[in-house]
Chain A
Amino acid sequence: MERPAPSADPRPARGSCFLELREIDKRFGGVHALDHVSFSICEGETYCLMGENGSGKSTLIKVISGVYTADSGEMILNGKSYRHITPTQAIEAGIQIIYQDFSVFPNLTVAENIALSNLVIRRKKTIDRKEINAIAKAALDKLGVELPLDREVSRLSVAGKQIVAIARGLAQDVKLLVMDEPTTALTHKEILALYRIIDTLKAKGIAIIFVSHKLEEVFSISQRIAILRNGKKVLDDSISNFDKNSLTYHMTGREIPSVPYEYIPAPHETTPILQVEGLSQPGAFHDISFSLHTHEILGITGQLGCGRTELAKALFGIGKNHGRICLSGQEVSIRSVQDAHRLGIGYVPEDRLSEGLFLQRSLADNMTAADVDELAHGILLDRKELLDVSRSWLNQLDIAAQGPEIPASNLSGGNQQRIVLAKWLQTKPKLLILNCPTVGVDVGSKNQIHEIVKQLAREGMGIIVISDDIGEIVTLCSRVMIMKDGRLVKQVNSADTTVEALERDVISDDDGREGV
């Protein structure tokens, strides 16, 4: 473990740390998620855990929480050594995790969701409604938020669910609080409230691990910083030794993000490939109007729950939408995914594992799934042809795989994402929509995918990229739209702004939230 420079905060002696991980190693199939990672955190310390998507952050957290068992290595908790711990042991020891996917129970009420974990570790056998409500209310009060205690969580907005997840973590005495990207759906007001809570916890001597890739948050909250890259810990130091640039370098392993995409409009082309006027979907987004030209890459960003995914899906034929959509000047009606497909629109979904891939099927099957009708001769399908087509894509997109017949589950995240991309490129779309295209993808693949996308745009495709990685947006997109609460609140050219300015724009709220 690296020792900080002498001028930095002195750390307590090894033995008195609350939690210590030694040489934790974990593999998933071909992916080396954690490569002999050692890490320790002591009372009152606030660590920011950083790393690109796919660096191993989530895996590390799940090992700490006991959900995953490391393949090798040791955990020392409160002085006692464990080969691995169960979730119950973790919770009993005072470790509380606020998961990135919230891990709430949609079928239970707000109060139950918040209070259950508390009751589990106190080994309660019976339920007392009053007690549950009291616990829940106390936790929500800490956050300064009000939520109807008896509402079913499935009916809450995304922000509401995140608040429930955070409240659950705060509902009991905790010694180590781990928060995985906890502010992705919160308003500025709520974020400030969370920072205040973190300060209170720090004052009480509680250790905090905070996962975030938002540079502002990192510098305002944490004392120390640990960075994971490709499963290895590459940095473990006091935050005072860094500034934004040096931090970015360590995170990505390169100086500054690569050359941003320069949009050069096609000569003699005046009609946008896509024109959207007054598009609305009740409950998701309202009155969205924008246009997109060929060769252009447009970015759409905003917090979780702002409506960006619903907007993308609406362009792909999903959802009950009103408004006008024109493709290359012609008004079109996109009422189903089949319509969108026929019109030459492709969509690479957010969650490739459940929405984009057929994991048990071969790469060939995966890459041809969207183009079956075209590849078929009448009702017949020639499997050999599918294999040939797939091999050519494996080459073109530089996908590391032994051949087109292996199952998709064998590939790494970056290669899997390229398979999904290949699926849609096979259909020769005119408009390609990418939703969070590099989530869970290693840095190398991320760059390659970015290059592929830029090349597609140079060749004439119109591309929309949805992402909450502002760095990615600025690199890839020539123009950015910010959505908030279902409305388009800002449009700006990436050349005219910076990553920090955009990040600020995304979380700022002038009118506050109307209620979740």
Chain B
Amino acid sequence: MNLRKIVKSNEFFLFAVIALMCIVFGLVSPSFFTVKNLFDVLKSMTETGILAMGSLVVMISGGIDLSFMAIAVFAMHTVSRLFGLYWNSAPMAVLLLCGMIIGLLLGLFNSIFIAKFNLPPFITTLGTSNIIKGFLLAFIGSKQFNKIPAAMIAFSKNNLLTISTDEGNANLHIGVLIFFAIAAATSLLLNKTMLGRSIYCIGGSPSSSERIGFRNLRILMFVYAFAGAIAGSVGIMHASFQRMSNPFDLVGGELNVIAAVVLGGPRVGGGYGNVTGTLLGVLLITLINNSLVMLKIPTFWQSAATGLIIILGTVAQMYRYKHSVNAEKGA
């Protein structure tokens, strides 16, 4: 019985699709199944993957956050400029921490409107995204900044593991470790803490959640603050990878993250979703993006492709959901 349950689950479906894709890629390009490629794929998953964790938590609570990219860029550029100009030798940990704090505060800003005034999260975060971005570009800086703190540049070269292979050095970047750590932490939060379960409760039935004693307002504030903090950390890492801070970066990439999360299983109404599914979704999206490069498809196809995937993915999910509901009814 348990095996049947696993096979029917969304995660297995994704896994099967990914496995299929890998086989196809492997046939087309033999260099797919190399350690170097594996490490590269892992590295390109890092940013999207970490952001996906934040978006996952928000979606489970029944909301959505479209401002996370703006938060990431804001944190990125502010920290880069501030520390770059006044404390260039700051250690990476401090930089990351500051980024996360800024992100957290911006996330709390979001939560005021959504949790306190009950505004629809979608339009609200669309608005706050503009506010944050506009503020950044108007008052903090709108030009690319190159003198980022030394620690950031060092971070980008910080590889956990370097293996010499036929295709060149296979580098496992430390960012991947951070990614897995955050994913593990999120999973722990969602499955093993009351706070995590309360997020599922709010997503499942906000009124019942109040009745059994949860404080909805506080939980929602946490959710958006969490997403903000995560976005902040990604911002710092992004500047590090790019070795400079460009305030026009990142924005526009929201869709990739949302597509990854949606493929992973959460329903728009909230109450469902888990880290495993999201990780698989991120992997799938990353593979598709990478494959477009590999198949030498020009970058301007990417938008269309991602859009198409999100549509196909949600349609597939919809049919699977309806099918399973009908199957139960008939039983």
Q: Which residues of A contact B (CB under 8 A)?
A: 65, 67, 87-88, 91, 97, 99, 103-108, 112, 116-117, 119-121, 124-127, 155, 168, 282-284
Of B203, B204, B205, B211, most buried by chain A (CB within 10 Å of CB) is B211
Instruction: Out of B192, B194, B203, B331, name the residue touching A120 (CB < 8 Å).
Output: B194
B193 in the interface (beta carbon within 8 A):
yes
Partner of A127, one of B192, B214, B215, B328: B192
Sample of 10 more A-B contacts, CB < 8 Å, known A105-B200, A107-B203, A155-B328: A87-B212, A107-B271, A116-B212, A125-B195, A126-B194, A127-B197, A168-B212, A282-B329, A283-B328, A283-B331
* Bound-state Cα–Cα, A105 to B212, Å: 11
Contact call A103/B193, Cβ cutoff below 8 A:
no
**Whole-angstrom CA separation of A65 from B208 in the bound complex:** 12
Given contacts A105-B204, A125-B195, contact A87 B210 (CB under 8 A): yes
Q: Which residues of A contact B328 (CB under 8 A)?
A: 155, 283
Q: Compute how far the CA of A104 lies from the CA of B197 in the bound complex, rounded to whole angstroms.
A: 14
Could you tell me the distance in whole angstroms from the C-beta of A153 to the nearest C-beta in chain B?
9
Residue pairs across A and B with CB atoms within 8 Å: the count is 73
> Do the beta carbons of B211 and A107 come within 8 Å of each other?
no
Q: A103-B205, A126-B194, A155-B328 are in contact. Are A117 and B200 (CB under 8 A)?
A: no
CA distance A106 to B328 in the complex (A): 15
A97 to B207, CA, bound (A): 14
Specify which chain A residues have a CB less than 8 angstroms from the CB of B195 in the assembled complex: 125
| Residues of chain B lying within 8 A (CB to CB) of residue A91 | 212-213
Contact pick for B271, options A65, A104, A105, A120, CB 8 Å:
A105
When A and B form their complex, which 4 residue pairs have the shortest distance between CB atoms, in order from nearest?
A107-B271, A107-B204, A103-B208, A105-B204
From B273, which residue of chain A is reached at the shortest CB distance? Answer: A107
Residue in contact with B197 in the complex, picked from A87, A106, A112, A121, CB distance below 8 Å: A112
Tell me whether A126 and B204 are in contact in the complex, defined as CB-CB below 8 angstroms, given that A91-B213, A97-B211 are known contacts.
Answer: no
Given contacts A120-B194, A127-B197, A106 and B205 within 8 Å (CB-CB): yes
CB-contacts of B208-237 with A (<8 A): 208-215
B2: shortest Cβ distance to chain A, in Å? 10
Whether B179 is near chain A, meaning CB under 8 Å from some CB there, is no
Contact check, A106 vs B271: say whether CB atoms are below 8 A apart: yes
Residue B330, interface by CB 8 Å? yes
Interface presence of B162 (CB below 8 A): no
Q: Do A119 and B211 form a contact, CB below 8 Å, given A105-B201, A107-B272, A283-B329?
A: no
Q: List 29 A-B contacts (CB under 8 A).
A: A87-B212, A88-B213, A88-B215, A103-B205, A103-B211, A103-B212, A104-B205, A105-B204, A105-B205, A105-B271, A106-B205, A107-B200, A107-B203, A107-B272, A108-B197, A108-B201, A108-B204, A112-B197, A117-B213, A119-B194, A120-B194, A120-B212, A121-B213, A124-B194, A126-B192, A127-B192, A127-B193, A127-B197, A168-B212
Report the minimal beta-carbon distance from B325 to chain A, rounded to whole angstroms. Answer: 9
A87-B213 CB under 8 A given contacts A105-B205, A126-B193, A127-B193: yes
Interface residue? B191 (CB, 8 A): yes
The docked-state distance in angstroms from the alpha carbon of A460 to that of B23 is 71
> Interface extent on B, as a size class?
20 to 34
The 0/1 profile, CB within 8 Å of A marked 1, for residues 256-295 of chain B is 0000000000000001100000000000000000000000
Q: Are A120 and B214 in contact (CB under 8 A)?
A: yes
Write the chain A residue with the least CB distance to B192. A127
Q: Would B212 and A125 count as touching, CB distance under 8 A?
A: no
Bound form: Cα–Cα A91–B211 in Å: 9
Chain A, Cβ-Cβ closest to B328:
A155
A67 touches B212 (CB 8 A): no
Tell me, rounded to whole Å, the shortest Cβ–Cβ distance linking A432 to chain B. Answer: 28
Whether B194 pairs with A127 at a CB distance below 8 angstroms is yes
Residue of A nearest to B202 (CB): A105
Chain A: CB-nearest residue to B203: A107
| Distance A284 CA – B329 CA, assembled complex (angstroms) | 8
What sequence of 0s and 1s flags, for each residue 302-331 of chain B, a beta carbon within 8 Å of any chain A beta carbon? 000000000000000000000000001111
Report the Cα distance A107→B212, complex, angstroms: 16
Which B residues from 44 to 95 make CB contacts under 8 A with A?
none
Q: Provide the residues of chain B in CB contact with A127, threshold 8 Å.
A: 191-194, 196-197
Task: Provide the residues of chain A in CB contact with B271, threshold 8 Å.
Answer: 105-107
Task: Check B208–A105 contact: CB distance below 8 A.
Answer: yes
Quick check: B204 and A106 within 8 Å, CB to CB? Answer: yes
The residue on B at minimum CB distance from A282 is B330
Report the separation of the CA atoms of residues A99 and B194 in the bound assembly, to the nearest whole angstrom. Answer: 23
Asked if A67 meets B200 with Cβ closer than 8 Å, knowing A104-B205, A106-B271, A127-B192, the reply is no
Contacts of B208 in A (CB 8 A): 103-105
Which of B196, B211, B214, B215 is the one whose CB lies under 8 Å from A99? B211
A168 to B196, CA, bound (A): 20
* Contact of B200 with A65 in the complex, beta carbons under 8 Å: no
Q: Is the CB of A67 within 8 A of B203?
A: no
> Could you tell me the distance between the alpha carbons of A121 and B214 in the complex, rounded to whole angstroms?
10
Which residues of B lie under 8 Å from residue A284 when comparing CB positions? 329
- What are the residues of chain A within 8 A of B214 when measuring CB–CB? 120
Chain B residues within 8 Å of A117, by CB: 212-213
Cα distance A121–B210 in the bound complex, in angstroms:
13
Docked Cα-Cα span, A418 to B203, in Å, equals 34
Contacts of B272 in A (CB 8 A): 107
Q: Which residues of B contact A282 (CB under 8 A)?
A: 329-330
Among B200, B207, B213: residue with most chain A CB under 10 A: B213
Contacts of A105 in B (CB 8 A): 200-201, 204-205, 208-209, 271
In whole angstroms, how far apart are the Cα atoms of A121 and B211 in the complex? 12
